[in-house]
Every structure is written in structure tokens, then in C-alpha cells.
């Protein structure tokens, strides 16, 4: 239950909390300040008074010592103050004009205990005011006696009272005014935040569909809010970019999925529409089957990409000799394994890595004129598997793009021969999931060299 | 009726050829954009069926170049691209119709027949008259190559005049085609005629007393 006021406080608005905190600090600060000032003032005034009554006491003591006490005693230099000379029994021997020469200012008991000290007290012999009193032992007519000197603290009391009024009346007004000013100023300072929030709130998914990214209005002030708005705008631009990428990926995926479906549908519709002889049907079915297979491949590739994107690439991480990934049976009709090199192992998922090599060889075969060659190199840290072809190659500027999804640089080739443009992208994604990469360079055969590079596992 | 089918998916192209032939069309097929452009330029087709993603030249480019050469054969774009802008771009470049793959062959045939009915009369997507060139898709007007700012209403009135450049256009006709309310005063037409003259030169509109206006683009 102790946390509930804290929770309540934290659930208040920032504006309220800052105003309350600032007001509290101001009120406490002012109160402490006034208290310290008063204390210093009182100390300094009391020291002044003490000095003057000690001088008076010393003067009277000297007079008593020389046995020449006048009646009345001389008034203190400040004009404010009293002095009495008391004998050992506490009876008044001499006094200043302003005080009684019968009634002692202090009873004997207090005089003896306070001798030598300055202190604050009241005295019925003088009046209701607070007094600073000093008692000094003296020799009076050759016997033991005391000099008592005093001065009123009237001005100190008056000043303290005035300060008290300030504390009670002016301080609350001042604090309330400060609180109001803080409330207004914070409201004004937070207004752009509120506007930014409202603008950011108004950004909807469809705002990312346009050609330009959605933007929040950047405040003209050069402060944190301006930087916040600019940061938010950069974030929106990045979101817009990734949303555009996403949309174009989906559009491409839709295109690649629809094309074979369209082909199958039209083939079957036409076969039903146009009189088809029984012996022609197998050809119709085989042709449709081609497109169904293509559809299946695109669907598989898309699912594999989705799995790669979600980071769920083949959990079994086994130790694989790279040479076993390119057994002659996997090389297809045109590829030749030139050099398996040293026996180098990598850690990974054999099925996924097979897929990489399959895709690289399929791509090379598509462009090769006559030859596809595979070779393996290894150094202490990495294993490289090269797939070379003697085809036209890819210009340096296009190589990076060739590894992107749905990119088919072979616009000159028809759909039937070119793939969907996912093979190399998938190969690179799998390689990267294995802390490796796929890079494209020139092949010694004159065409393209696609290299799968993986970290070596001993 | 002769149809050109430009489609790079050979099995789909073969099926379309078979189906169209059965429906009585003479069909040529090609799987290449440049070849399609060449065929369409050399032979008189009644309809051209174009895929967008073609090797060498895209369907858009084939459409644009055919229209630029003044070949007005109706074009039906058949594509698996179904984005709003894909379709709008195709039509704005001068294609006449757009079907999204996969389509029903029966509906596809109906689209082809509808385009045959339309014939190959000029249907420019950009209207030109003298030195004026107006693109309704981008809502831009140039006069001898220099862009001129017109309001939507001014553009609409000018487009109507440009499309009927060879005859007198009455004020009532302009009111009916350009203004949303039929009870608008005929004076509005005169006011806008004044605006057009101010922006394009006095001589651009010739007033034919008692009948209307004739556009006079020098």
C-alpha cells in the first residue's frame, strides 16, 4: 500500500508534476532562506548589543573599583540600556537613571550563576521587553559585588515580527504566483510536444503508400523538440522506405504467383472450350503441370524466404565437409567439379547449404554457353566455394543488384527460361544466416563467378 | 480479324492462340517486346494483346512507341501486375483496356471483341492542336513547349475545344460538357473564354457571332 501514493503521483501529468515540484522547491527554499537570514540578523544584532553592554559594564566596573560610583550611573553610549551595581547580598548600590535603584534587575541567585556571561532574559525591574544582560563580578566599596548591564532587544523583535508577516502573507502569494507562472510556461513549452503527438497520432498506414514519406511539422525553435521532430521524421522516412520495399516485394510476389496460375487457368479453359481430342489431353495436362511445378517452386522459395527473414533457418547445426555438399550427383548435366581442394569443414544446416549450391549452379547453368565449373578453396578462417560459368557475366555495377529479390537482369530472356529472380537472393540469405556471404565476381572462364564464403570450422 | 499476342510465357501464349483461333481470329504470337513492336508496325492488326513484363521492350514501351508512330490499333494489356498505378500507367500511355491475370478466357474474349468494335481511329491520350499540347493524365498544358498554368475549369474547357478543333463549339455545349450545373449562366462561358484569351493570346479563340467559339491555335 505504501507504493500507491507514489503510483498516484507518477500517474499525474508531467505538467502537474513539474509545477508541483518547482513550487515545492521554491517554497522550501524561500522559507529556509528567510529563516537563515533572520538567524544571521539576530546573531549580528545580539553581538552589537552584547558589545555595548560589555563596554557599559566595564565602565561601571572601573568606576566601582576606584570607589567613585556616581549616582545615577552614566548611561551607556548608545543611550539605550541600563546598569546596576549590586552588593554581595544582591541589593542595588547604584543604578542608571533609567532603572530602579531599589529593585535589582536580577535576583541574587541568577546573578551568581550567570556571572561573566551575556544572556537573554526578562526583568520586571525594566519592563516587558526582552533584554540582553551581562553580569560582571566587581569590587564594590572594597567588598565583593556585581555589575549588571542590560539593553532591550526591541528592534530585533520588531524586525523578526515583520519577517514573520512576510512569511505568512507574502510568501504564499509569491509561491502561488510562481506556481501559476510555472504552470503556464510548462504548458506553453509542452504545447509543441502535444502537437507533435497529435500529428504522429494522425499518421496512418496508408500515409506510407504515397511517393513521399509522411512528415511531422518541425518546430522552428532550435531546441530538443526540433531535434525530436527531425528524428521522428527520419524514422518515418525509414518506415516509408521499408514499407515501399515491402509493397514492391508483395507486388512482385503476387506477380510471380499469378503468372503460372493464369497460364494454367487459360490452358485448361481453352482445352475445355476448344474441342480437344482424347489423344491431345496428355499434352494439355503435361503443359499445365509445368506451370503448376513452377508455381510450387515460387511458393517454396517464398516460404523459405519468409523462414529466413524470421531467423528460423535449419536448427540442426552439424559439421559438414564442404566437398560433400557438391557430390557429382547434384551438379546437373553441365557442371563439372574441378577441384575439391583440401577437406574443409563448416558448421551449418546441410539442407540449406545444398540449396545455396543448387541455386548457384542453376543460375550459372542458365547463362553458361558450355561449361560450369565448381571449385573449393580454403584458408585458416574461411572456406570459399566458387561456381564459374563461361556465359556473358554481369557488369560490375549490376552485381550487387543481381543478389536482390525478384531481380532478373536477363530482361532479354523470356519467363520460361529465366527464374523468378529469387535464387541468388535466397542463396545470399542462407549464407548470411551461416555468418557467410555470396559474392559475384569475374570467372576465369570468362563469365560470372558466384562464390559462397563460409567461416571454416577447423 | 487478326490479333497479335505478345506474351513471353510460351504455354500461355499457345493456349491463347488456340482459343482465339477457335473463336475465329487469325493469331500471331511473339514472346518479345521488340518483335511485337516490329510486327505491329508492319502488319495491320485489329487488336494487340500485350503483356507488360516482356523481354527487350516492356509492354508500356511498346504501347508508347506504337502511339507515337500514329498506330491506333486497340491494345489490350494482360498482366499479372494489378497495382493501381500499373493499370493507370498502361491506360494513360495509350492502351485501351487492361485485364489482370489470371483472367477468365470467356471474359478475355469479350474484351478482345469489344476492342475490335472500337476500331483503329485515332484516340490520342495527349491532345494536340497547333502549338498546344494538353495531357489530361498529368493535367499539364504546353504552348510551343512552354508550360502554361491553367485552372481545372480552364483546362477542361480548353480540352473540349481542342478535341473539337475543326468545328464551331456553342456556349451551351461548353456549359453542358465542362460545367457541373446545367443551370449555370451562359455568361460563365464568356468569362472563361476571356481567361483563356488572356493566358494564351487574344487570337486563340475566335468568336462566331450567334453560334459560339472556334479554337484557332496557330
Residues B24 and B70 in one domain: yes
Chain A contact present for B34, CB below 8 A: no
One domain for residues B138 and B62:
no
Beta bridge mates, A345: A321
Cβ contacts of B51 within 8 Å, gap of 6 or more: B6, B7, B8, B9, B59, B77, B78, B79
The verdict on a CB contact (< 8 Å) between B9 and A261 is no
Closest C-alpha to A149, from A181, A126, A167, A169:
A126
Residues in B touching A273 (Cβ below 8 Å): 19, 22, 105-106
Q: What is the CATH number of the domain that holds B55?
A: 3.40.50.2300
Every domain of chain A and the residues it spans: 1-202, 203-312, 315-455
Say if CB A455 and CB A431 are below 8 A apart: no
Does the structure show a pLDDT above 90 at A313? no
Q: What is the pLDDT of residue A251?
A: 83
Tell me if chain A has a CB within 8 Å of the CB of B110: no
Is residue B46 a contact partner of residue B72, using CB atoms and an 8 Å limit?
A: no
pTM value surpassing 0.90: no
- CB-CB neighbors (< 8 A) of A267 in chain B: 11-12, 14-15
Over 60: is that where the pLDDT of A418 sits?
no
B114 and B11, same domain (yes or no):
yes
Question: Is A425 a residue whose pLDDT tops 90?
Answer: no
Same domain, B106 and B133: no
Specify the number of domains making up chain B: 2
Between 3.40.250.10, 1.10.4010.10, 3.30.565.10, 1.10.8.190, what CATH number should domain A315-455 receive?
Answer: 3.30.565.10
For residue A251, which residues of chain B lie inside 8 Å, CB to CB?
A: 81, 83
CATH of the domain at B191: 1.10.10.10
**Whole-number Å distance between alpha carbons of A435 and A317:** 13
Q: Do A267 and B11 touch (CB under 8 A)?
A: yes
Tell me the residue range of the domain where B78 lies.
Answer: 2-118
Which chain A residues are Cβ-neighbours of B53 within 8 angstroms?
Answer: 255, 415
* Same domain as B110, residue B204: no
Q: Final residue of a domain: which of B73, B88, B118?
A: B118
Q: Are residues B107 and B134 in the same domain?
A: no
Same structural domain, B70 and B103: yes
Please check the confidence at residue A417 and state whether its pLDDT lies above 60: no
B68 and B93 assigned to the same domain: yes
CB of B53 within 8 Å of a chain A CB? The answer is: yes
A445-454 CB burial, b ≥16 within 10 A, e <16 = bebbbbbbbb
Among B79, B100, B118, where does a domain finish?
A: B118
**CB-CB under 8 Å, B22 with A274:** yes
**Confidence bin at A123 (pLDDT 50/70/90):** confident
Instruction: State whether B113 and B88 are in the same domain.
Output: yes
pLDDT at B67: 93
Question: Which residues of A, range 252-311, sit inside 8 Å of B by Cβ?
Answer: 254-256, 258-259, 261-267, 269-271, 273-274, 287-288, 290-291
Select the residue of A263, A273, A412 nearest B12 (Cβ to Cβ): A263
Residues B131 and B41 in one domain: no
**What's the confidence (pLDDT) of residue A86?**
87
CB contact under 8 A, B19 and A270: yes
Residue A209 pLDDT more than 80?
no
Same domain flag for B142 and B187: yes
Q: Which residues from chain B sit within 8 angstroms of residue A262, using beta carbons? A: 9, 12, 80, 101-103
Same-domain check for residues B6 and B90: yes
User: Are A266 and B15 an interchain contact pair (Cβ–Cβ within 8 Å)?
Assistant: yes
* Closest among A104, A98, A169, A105 to A132, alpha carbons compared: A105
Mean pLDDT of chain A: 84
Q: What is the CA angle A402-A404-A405, rounded to 5?
A: 120
Outline where DSSP puts E strands in A141-277. 143-152
Dump pLDDT digits (tens) for B68-119. 998 999 999 999 988 888 899 999 999 999 999 999 999 999 999 999 998 8
Separation CA A393–CA A295 (nearest Å): 28
What's the CA gap between A180 and A184, in Å, rounded? 6
To the nearest whole Å, the CA of A437 is away from the closest chain B CA by 30
Residue A91 C-alpha cell reads as 541589593
Amino acid at each position: 500500500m505504501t507504493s500507491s501514493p507514489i503510483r498516484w503521483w507518477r500517474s499525474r501529468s508531467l505538467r502537474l508534476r513539474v509545477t508541483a515540484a518547482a513550487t515545492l522547491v521554491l517554497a522550501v527554499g524561500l522559507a529556509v532562506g528567510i529563516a537563515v537570514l533572520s538567524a544571521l540578523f539576530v546573531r549580528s544584532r545580539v553581538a552589537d548589543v552584547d558589545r555595548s553592554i560589555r563596554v557599559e559594564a566595564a565602565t561601571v566596573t572601573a568606576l566601582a573599583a576606584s570607589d567613585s560610583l556616581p549616582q545615577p550611573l552614566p548611561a551607556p553610549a548608545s543611550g539605550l540600556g541600563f546598569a546596576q551595581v549590586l552588593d554581595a547580598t544582591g541589593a542595588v548600590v547604584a543604578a542608571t537613571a533609567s532603572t530602579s535603584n531599589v529593585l535589582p534587575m536580577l535576583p541574587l541567585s541568577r546573578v551568581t550563576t550567570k556571572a561573566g556571561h551575556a544572556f537573554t532574559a526578562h526583568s520586571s525591574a525594566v519592563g516587558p521587553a526582552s533584554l540582553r544582560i551581562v553580569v560582571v563580578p566587581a569590587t564594590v566599596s572594597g567588598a565583593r559585588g556585581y555589575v549588571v548591564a542590560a539593553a532591550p532587544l526591541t528592534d530585533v523583535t520588531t524586525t523578526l515580527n515583520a519577517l514573520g508577516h512576510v512569511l505568512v502573507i507574502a510568501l504564499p502569494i509569491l509561491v502561488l504566483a510562481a506556481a501559476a507562472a510555472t504552470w503556464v510556461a510548462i504548458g506553453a513549452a509542452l504545447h509543441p510536444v502535444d502537437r507533435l503527438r497529435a500529428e504522429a497520432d494522425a499518421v496512418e498506414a496508408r500515409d506510407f503508400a504515397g511517393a513521399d514519406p509522411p512528415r511531422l511539422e518541425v518546430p522552428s525553435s532550435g531546441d530538443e523538440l526540433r531535434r525530436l521532430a527531425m528524428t521522428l521524421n527520419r524514422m518515418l522516412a525509414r518506415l516509408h522506405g521499408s514499407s515501399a520495399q515491402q509493397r514492391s516485394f508483395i507486388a512482385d510476389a503476387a506477380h510471380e504467383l499469378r503468372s503460372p496460375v493464369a497460364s494454367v487457368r487459360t490452358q485448361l479453359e481453352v482445352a475445355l472450350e476448344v474441342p480437344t481430342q482424347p489423344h491431345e489431353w496428355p499434352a494439355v495436362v503435361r503443359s499445365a503441370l509445368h506451370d503448376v511445378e513452377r508455381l510450387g517452386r515460387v511458393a517454396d522459395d517464398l516460404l523459405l524466404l519468409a523462414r529466413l527473414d524470421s531467423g528460423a533457418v535449419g536448427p540442426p547445426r552439424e559439421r559438414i565437409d564442404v566437398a560433400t555438399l557438391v557430390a557429382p550427383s547434384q551438379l546437373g548435366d553441365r557442371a563439372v567439379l574441378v577441384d575439391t581442394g583440401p577437406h574443409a569443414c563448416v558448421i551449418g544446416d546441410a539442407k540449406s547449404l545444398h540449396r545455396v549450391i543448387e541455386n548457384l549452379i542453376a543460375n550459372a547453368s542458365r547463362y553458361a554457353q558450355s561449361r560450369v565449373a565448381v571449385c573449393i578453396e580454403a584458408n585458416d578462417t574461411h572456406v570459399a566455394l566458387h561456381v564459374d560459368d563461361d556465359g556473358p557475366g554481369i557488369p560490375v555495377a549490376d552485381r550487387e543488384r543481381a543478389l536482390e529479390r525478384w531481380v532478373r537482369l536477363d530482361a532479354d530472356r523470356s519467363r520460361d527460361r529465366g527464374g523468378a529472380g529469387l535464387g541468388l537472393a535466397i542463396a545470399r540469405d542462407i549464407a548470411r544466416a551461416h555468418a557467410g556471404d555470396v559474392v559475384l565476381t569475374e570467372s576465369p572462364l570468362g563469365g560470372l563467378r558466384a562464390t559462397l564464403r563460409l567461416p571454416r570450422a577447423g | 480479324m487478326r490479333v497479335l499476342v505478345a506474351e513471353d510465357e510460351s504455354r500461355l501464349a499457345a493456349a491463347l492462340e488456340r482459343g482465339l483461333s477457335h473463336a475465329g481470329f487469325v493469331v500471331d504470337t511473339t514472346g518479345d517486346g521488340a518483335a511485337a513492336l516490329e510486327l505491329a508496325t508492319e502488319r495491320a492488326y485489329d487488336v494487340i494483346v500485350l503483356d507488360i513484363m516482356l523481354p527487350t521492350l516492356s509492354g508500356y514501351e511498346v504501347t508508347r512507341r506504337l502511339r507515337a508512330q500514329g498506330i491506333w490499333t486497340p491494345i489490350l494489356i494482360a498482366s499479372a501486375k494489378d497495382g493501381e498505378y500499373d493499370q493507370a500507367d498502361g491506360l494513360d500511355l495509350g492502351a485501351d483496356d487492361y485485364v489482370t491475370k489470371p483472367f477468365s478466357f470467356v471474359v478475355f474474349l469479350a474484351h478482345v471483341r469489344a476492342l475490335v468494335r472500337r476500331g483503329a481511329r485515332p484516340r490520342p491520350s495527349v491532345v494536340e492542336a497547333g502549338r498546344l499540347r494538353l495531357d489530361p493524365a498529368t493535367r499539364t498544358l504546353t504552348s510551343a513547349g512552354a508550360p502554361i498554368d491553367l485552372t481545372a475549369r480552364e483546362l477542361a474547357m480548353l480540352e473540349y475545344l481542342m478535341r473539337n478543333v475543326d468545328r464551331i463549339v456553342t456556349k451551351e455545349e461548353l456549359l453542358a460538357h465542362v460545367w457541373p450545373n446545367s443551370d449555370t449562366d451562359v455568361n460563365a462561358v464568356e468569362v472563361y473564354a476571356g481567361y483563356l484569351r488572356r493566358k494564351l493570346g487574344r487570337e486563340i479563340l475566335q468568336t462566331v457571332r450567334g453560334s459560339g467559339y472556334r479554337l484557332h491555335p496557330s
